[in-house]
Amino acid sequence: MAYVKTTWQDGKTYGAESFNNIEQGIANNDARLTDIENGNIATIGLDRLETDLLGKFMLDLRTIPYDGDDVEGTQLKICMMGDSVFYGYADAKDPEAVEEDCITDDGDSWSLRFTQGKSKPYRAKQRIHNGFETGLNAVYGANKVKVIPKLYSGYCAKWASQHYYASGADLVIINYGINDAVGSWVNKDGDNYMGDIEAYIGYMRLIVERELQGGTAVVLMTPTRNTMMLDNQSANNNPEDTNDRTRIDAYEIALRQMAQEYNIPVIDGQEVTRNLSTHHAYDFCHFTNEDNIAIGYRMAAYFVGQSPLYKNEVQSGTYLGVNPQYDNMNITGLAQFARASYSPNQPMIMANVNLEYPISDPDWRSKGLMVNISGTGSITWSFYAPVDGMVIIPSVYTKTNGQGVGMQLDFGGKQGKWNNMWNAGLKFRTATPDYTYEEPSAVDINYTNFKQIGEGMTYGLHVFEEAENPSELPVLYVTTKGWHTVSLMMPATSSASVPDVPVGDGNYDVFGLNFLTLHDYKCLVRK
């Protein structure tokens, strides 16, 4: 096609070369899309390929319902590949521990590699991927996501690159680094691999590129947190604990740098295990059932809403409404978008598909956006808390006498401990902190907590601002910084104060969530 010079709207003159470049760019993009459709992806830059594959996964996660038989491939497969943390290594003394061998795609087994066939490792009954799968299916529909475990206790990136094939999944989450950094047994093959960070990154690149070339989007996870060793406080002052942490931290830095090469999102292993108590850990890095499930729930938060590519960070004073495009939320079950004159949100629903202005019916311009929930319906937000100790106050409305609202953090998984026990939910002020205290991850808000407005009742920040005893009103505390989800639904159990309201009864409207820092909340309730 031939072009002549023309003056564009910006006042600049463009010639044939400019338009030819545009046309060539379109042609190149079309060719790339054709390559993807035909499975010929070896010629595509791996960074661009990651963008394409992850974008497709996130779209499919949100838009393709599971048909029940997976004939059309509607069930999304997520491979979780990692070492003993993902495997769920457990103490054999745990009465619920399961004895289970680790076997790679080519038959490399734990019993042969480490004990010459004499025994198998023990794992916790519940593992991280169990919570991860449950959390995503709660948001996107039953059985929408299926986890493919490629887990091997004591493994490293080197061995994984040698003994696993491409997963063939829609998405893979890879977690290696602790054994690579400090596990002396990884030198079993006769080399000095432990602590060789260049070799570690080289093998991680092999795994990543194998997955991308196999058509699988990649997410990386940095090493999880380790507990402190008492030896460092003894008279002997064993320096190995500190040295090990230094090496693991260096591996995390290198992994994050490598992720940038491929445009790969990173799950922060330190954050998703933040403040999990040693009371629920077998040793320096392995977690028991309850913590494994909690970690999986926290990881699921990365994939709710627009994450993991969009960090929906909240601050004190942040208000998250119910617009899916910028409030990072999803609705499920008997929940639907609606409008009402009593909603404090901006009107976002149009009367019809005709985009005429002004809308002929002024009624549509005077009713704010909301989500109506009944029965088994729920609404779930994903957010990132930049500090420990955020407080969540929902904004809700109901006309149903006796109706309660359930608010749940991280799908009800166990919260981390308070970093500062003096802040423990403002529950106590004693000379000795109660280290056994567990901050609840769910709260039921019953009929008596709502403020009467007209013929109905509302609950929100304005209730606290006007209440005589705001400290008596229920809120949800978020003990630890990082990625989280919060869901609103019918209460899990009937409240003692409204015993005649069974689970799933009633109807209520959701406007959004109010966030405060613990400091600002204290100022509010102590006015």
For the ranges 70-79, 166-175, 191-200, 235-244, the lowest mean pLDDT is seen at 235-244
Q: Do 326 and 283 fall into the same domain? A: no
Least-confidence region, from 33-47, 175-189, 219-233, 505-519: 33-47
Q: Looking at the predicted structure, is the pLDDT value of residue 251 above 80? A: yes
Summary mean pLDDT of the chain: 81
Q: Are 370 and 511 in contact (CB under 8 A)?
A: yes
Whether residue 22 is predicted with pLDDT greater than 90 in this model: the reply is no
What one-character-per-residue DSSP string does 183-212 give? -GGGGTTSS--TT-HHHHHHHHHHHHHHHH
Are 98 and 159 part of one and the same domain? yes
Helix axes of 128-140 and 46-63: crossing angle, nearest 10 degrees: 60
Distance in angstroms (rounded) separating the CA atoms of residues 135 and 300:
6
- State the first-to-last Cα distance of the chain, in angstroms, to the nearest integer: 73
Q: What is the pLDDT of residue 334?
A: 86
pLDDT digits (tens, 9 = 90+) for 375-430: 888 999 999 999 999 999 999 988 776 677 889 999 999 999 898 887 775 555 56
Question: What's the pLDDT score for residue 28?
Answer: 56
Residue in 153, 146, 189 with CA at minimum distance from that of residue 167? 146
In a domain, residue 310? The reply is: no
Measured CA to CA in angstroms, residue 278 lies from 91, 228, 286, 434, 456 at distances of 14, 9, 10, 15, 46
- pLDDT at position 173: 98
Q: Among the ranges 57-66, 229-238, 352-361, 484-493, which has the highest mean pLDDT value? A: 57-66
Least confident of 116-120, 278-282, 386-390, 434-438: 278-282
Question: Residue 320: left if φ>0, alpha if ψ -120 to 50, beta else—which one?
Answer: beta
pLDDT of residue 430: 62
pLDDT at 525 (0 to 100)? 83
Choose among 525, 413, 394, 517: nearest CA to 459. 394
Confidence class of residue 172 from pLDDT cuts 50, 70 and 90? very high
Distances (CA, A) of 339 to 33, 283, 321, 369: 40, 52, 13, 5
CB 221 within 8 A of CB 269: yes
Mean pLDDT of 363-374: 82
Predicted pLDDT at 191? 82
φ, ψ of residue 471 in degrees (nearest 5): -65, -15
Residue that finishes a domain, picked among 251, 268, 303: 303
Over range 65-91, report the average pLDDT: 81
- Which residue has better confidence, 93 or 476? 476
Q: What is the mean pLDDT of residues 347-376?
A: 73
Residues 211 and 111 in one domain: yes
Q: Is residue 313 domain-resident?
A: no
pLDDT tens digits along 82-130: 999 999 888 888 888 899 999 999 999 999 888 877 789 989 899 999 9
Number of domains present in the structure of the chain = 3
Does 309 map to a domain?
no
Report yes or no on 497 lying in a domain: yes
Position 188, amino acid: K
pLDDT score at 215: 95
Q: How far apart are CA 390 and CA 522, in angstroms?
A: 11
pLDDT at 478 exceeding the cut of 60: yes
DSSP state of 487: E
Per-residue pLDDT tens digits for 312-345: 999 999 999 999 888 999 998 889 998 888 888 9
Nearest partner of 135 among 340, 292, 246, judged by Cα: 292
What region does 275 belong to: left with phi over 0, alpha with psi -120 to 50, or beta?
left
- Say if residues 173 and 221 touch (Cβ distance below 8 Å): yes
Q: Of the residues 269, 303, 337, which one is the last residue of a structural domain?
A: 303
Q: Verify that 473 and 333 share a domain, yes or no.
A: yes
341 or 256, greater pLDDT: 256
3-state class (DSSP) for residue 327: helix
323 and 345 in a common domain = yes
- C-alpha dist (Å) from residue 190 to 187, 193, 207, 359, 393: 6, 9, 22, 75, 58
Supply the CATH number for residue 286's domain: 3.40.50.1110
Residue 314, domain member (yes or no): no
- Statement to judge: residues 258 and 407 lie in one domain: no
Q: What's the CA gap between 171 and 303, in Å, rounded?
A: 11
Condensed to tens digits (0 to 9), the pLDDT of residues 23-39 reads: 555 565 555 555 545 55
Q: Are residues 168 and 283 in the same domain?
A: yes
Does 311 map to a domain?
no
Residue 302: the pLDDT is: 94
Residues 14, 84 within the same domain:
no
Q: Would you state the pLDDT for residue 257? A: 95
Share of the chain above pLDDT 70, in %: 76
**CA pair distance 243, 238, nearest whole angstrom:** 10
pTM metric for this prediction: 0.83
Residue 50, helix vs strand vs coil: helix
**Three-state SS across 442-470?**
EEEECHHHCEEECCEEEECHHHHHHCCCH
Residue 425: its pLDDT value, please?
Answer: 59
Question: What band does 133 get if pLDDT is binned at 50, 70 and 90?
Answer: very high
- Looking up tokens 């023309």, which residue turns up? 6
Give me the DSSP letters along 25-48.
HHHHHHHHHHHHHTT--TTS-HHH
Domain that holds residue 15: 1-40
Q: Which residues make Cβ contacts (< 8 Å) with residue 356, sequence separation at least 6?
A: none
Tell me, yes or no, whether 119 and 149 share the same domain.
yes
For residues 341 and 193, membership in a common domain is answered with no
Q: According to the model, what pLDDT value does residue 234 have?
A: 46
User: At 496, is the pLDDT very low, low, confident or very high (cuts 50, 70, 90)?
Assistant: very low
Burial 17-56 (b: 16+ CB within 10 A, else e): eebeeeeeeeeeeeebeebbeeeebeebebeebbbbbbee
Q: Is 517 within 8 Å of 401 (Cβ atoms)?
A: no
Q: Using an 8 Å Cβ cutoff, are 290 and 280 in contact?
A: yes
Amino acid of residue 31: A
Residue-level pLDDT at 382 = 94
Instruction: Report the alpha-carbon distance of residue 524 to residue 519 in Å, rounded.
Output: 9
Dihedrals phi, psi of 171, to nearest 5 degrees: -150, 145
236 shares a domain with 342: no
Q: Binning pLDDT at 50, 70 and 90, where does residue 10 land?
A: very low
Span of 219-223, 389-393, 494-498 with lowest mean pLDDT? 494-498
Quickly state the pLDDT bin for 493 (edges 50, 70, 90).
very low
Q: Are residues 25 and 93 in the same domain?
A: no
Q: Which of 10-24, 316-330, 480-494 has the highest mean pLDDT?
A: 316-330
Measured over the CA atoms of residue 367, residue 501, residue 401 and residue 427, the dihedral's sign is negative
What is the Cα–Cα distance from 205 to 257, expressed in whole angstroms? 12
- Assess if residue 308 is contained within a domain: no
The larger pLDDT score, comparing residue 89 to residue 69, is at 89
pLDDT score for 288: 85
- Report the CATH number that the domain containing residue 441 is assigned in CATH: 2.60.120.260
Per-residue confidence band for 352, with pLDDT thresholds at 50, 70 and 90: low
312: in domain: no
Residue 126: both structure tokens together: 């519940």
The answer to whether residues 449 and 459 touch, using CB atoms and an 8 Å cutoff, is yes
CA distance 128 to 115: 25
**Between 354 and 200, residue with greater pLDDT:** 200
Lowest-confidence range among 14-23, 165-174, 189-198, 333-342? 14-23
Q: What is the pLDDT of residue 119?
A: 86
Instruction: Give me 47's structure tokens.
Output: 């960074």
